[in-house]
């Protein structure tokens, strides 16, 4: 069997130490040593006192921007756009060049690391991700191997270049998919709305599902560490389909593997903020906090005041403006932003949408939310 033994996480690439180098770089001025201040988003994630909430948006790089659509005409393959270093960097920087958000997230896909595990996939323009040989037996599972980081060097190079481009003016974010969410694609073979095969497997083949999720937890922990060591200052974990599980099933089939990932990363990089976002997570908020992440992503269906009351003031919250508000007037956007900021409190909050930027969103709406967020200080909300 080619799966790693318990605790083994696979081969590691030679550490680029980009993150450590940039964090510890000092500048000598008039005989004194000045340590550059870390980005606003990093400090807010850790609960440090900041004058305003940092702001970035999920899917801030994408089809709503004309510059992205023009680039996509020249490079129609999504795999090419998300796996060629020069294109990844250019696309990741498009929102930075236009809006100057407080976070610049790597342009990638949650399925990007799968070939490094031995799972090949294609992306159909209509059907989305397609996996020709979904894993539904122990024999198939045995063909997986530890994460081969040599197949993901474009990710490391991209993160390093983004750090060089952005400096500490904004946080550079990496991201990964959760074990459960990745498993839905690996087992179903494509996007699903019912998840019948994997949900049935919870009862018909629990040993197989546990083995797959355990393997994914260990290898995605390796992937997070690689992203951090390549330059990521924060990492967001997307349990995109975790909200499809009843809470008691999430406790069995998602939560434990997320905890395993987080503990593995924190053992090596204890100060790097980790965010967990689950769409449709209103019934899971306390459980998300219990995974040990630093930041809980809140979707737009939860009132931010309720989220803060339920989770307390000792953890950072992210979100949760309704993405549709960006189609509305500037006044409506401002009202939504202030409402979210006021309810989140004057500390430990990252302003974001409650989901990704919607296709067709006016760039002017995105620009106004970013611009307005920079004018609202915590002192203005008292």
pLDDT of residue 10: 47
Do 129 and 121 form a contact (C-beta atoms < 8 A)?
A: yes
User: Strands 32-34 and 349-353: what pairing?
Assistant: unpaired
Q: What is the pLDDT of residues 42-56, one digit of tens each?
A: 999 999 999 999 999
* Mean of pLDDT values over 249-253: 97
User: Residue 295 pLDDT > 80, yes or no?
Assistant: yes
Do 235 and 268 form a contact (C-beta atoms < 8 A)?
A: no
pLDDT of residue 192: 85
pLDDT of residue 33: 60
Please count the other Cβ atoms lying within 10 Å of the Cβ belonging to residue 127.
Answer: 10
* Mean of pLDDT values over 27-33: 50
Q: What is the pLDDT of residues 180-239, one digit of tens each?
A: 999 999 999 988 888 999 999 999 999 999 999 999 999 999 999 999 999 999 999 999
Q: With 0-12 CB in 10 A as exposed, 13-18 as middle and 19+ as buried, what is 337? A: buried
**Distance in angstroms (rounded) separating the CA atoms of residues 255 and 278:** 11
Angle at 186 between CA 107 and CA 197, to 5 degrees: 135
Give Cα separations from 223 to 5, 10, 46, 124, 153 (angstroms): 17, 10, 22, 25, 11
Give Cα separations from 129 to 125, 178, 254, 347 (angstroms): 9, 16, 21, 39
pLDDT of residue 1: 45
Give Cα separations from 13 to 83, 156, 173, 239 (angstroms): 18, 10, 20, 26
Read off φ and ψ for residue 323, nearest 5 degrees.
-55, -30
User: Residue 30 pLDDT > 80, yes or no?
Assistant: no
Do 304 and 319 form a contact (C-beta atoms < 8 A)?
A: yes
Binning pLDDT at 50, 70 and 90, where does residue 4 land? very low
Is the pTM value of this prediction over 0.85? yes
pLDDT of residue 34: 62
**Distance in angstroms (rounded) separating the CA atoms of residues 179 and 217:** 6
In which residue are the tokens 């490079």 written? Answer: 75
In which residue are the tokens 């994914």 written? Answer: 216
Angle at 22 between CA 234 and CA 158, to 5 degrees: 60
pLDDT of residue 32: 59
In which residue are the tokens 């040599």 written? Answer: 150
Angle at 204 between CA 198 and CA 207, to 5 degrees: 85
pLDDT of residue 7: 42
User: Residue 163 pLDDT > 90, yes or no?
Assistant: yes
């Amino acid at each position: 069997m080619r799966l790693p033994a318990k605790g083994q996480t696979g081969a590691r690439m030679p550490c680029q130490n980009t993150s450590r180098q940039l964090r510890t770089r000092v500048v000598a001025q008039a005989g004194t040593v000045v340590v550059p201040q870390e980005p606003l988003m990093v400090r807010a994630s850790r609960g440090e006192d900041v004058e305003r909430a940092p702001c970035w948006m999920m899917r801030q790089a994408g089809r709503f921007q004309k510059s992205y659509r023009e680039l996509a005409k020249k490079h129609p393959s999504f795999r090419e756009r998300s796996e060629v270093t020069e294109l990844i960097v250019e696309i990741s920087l498009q929102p930075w060049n236009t809006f100057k958000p407080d976070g610049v997230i790597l342009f990638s896909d949650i399925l990007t690391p799968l070939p490094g595990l031995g799972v090949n996939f294609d992306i159909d323009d209509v059907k989305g991700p397609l996996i020709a040989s979904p894993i539904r037996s122990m024999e198939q599972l045995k063909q997986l191997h530890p994460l081969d980081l040599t197949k993901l060097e474009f990710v490391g190079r991209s993160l390093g270049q983004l750090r060089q481009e952005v400096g500490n003016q904004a946080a550079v974010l990496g991201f990964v998919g959760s074990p459960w969410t990745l498993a839905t694609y690996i087992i179903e073979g494509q996007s699903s709305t019912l998840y019948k095969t994997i949900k049935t497997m919870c009862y018909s083949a629990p040993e197989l599902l546990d083995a797959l999720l355990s393997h994914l937890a260990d290898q995605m922990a390796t992937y997070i560490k690689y992203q951090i060591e390549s330059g990521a200052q924060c990492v967001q974990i997307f349990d995109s389909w975790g909200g499809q599980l009843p809470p008691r099933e999430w406790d069995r089939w998602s939560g434990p593997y997320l905890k395993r990932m987080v503990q593995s990363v924190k053992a090596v990089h204890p100060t790097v903020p980790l965010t967990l976002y689950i769409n449709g997570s209103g019934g899971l908020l306390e459980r998300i906090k219990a995974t040990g992440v630093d930041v809980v992503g809140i979707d737009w269906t939860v009132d931010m005041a309720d989220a803060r009351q339920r989770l307390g003031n000792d953890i950072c919250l992210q979100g949760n403006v309704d993405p549709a508000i960006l189609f509305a007037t500037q006044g409506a956007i401002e009202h939504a932003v202030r409402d979210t900021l006021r309810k989140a409190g004057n500390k430990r909050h990252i302003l974001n949408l409650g989901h990704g930027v919607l296709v067709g969103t006016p760039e002017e709406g995105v620009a106004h939310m970013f611009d307005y967020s920079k004018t609202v200080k915590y002192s203005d909300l008292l």
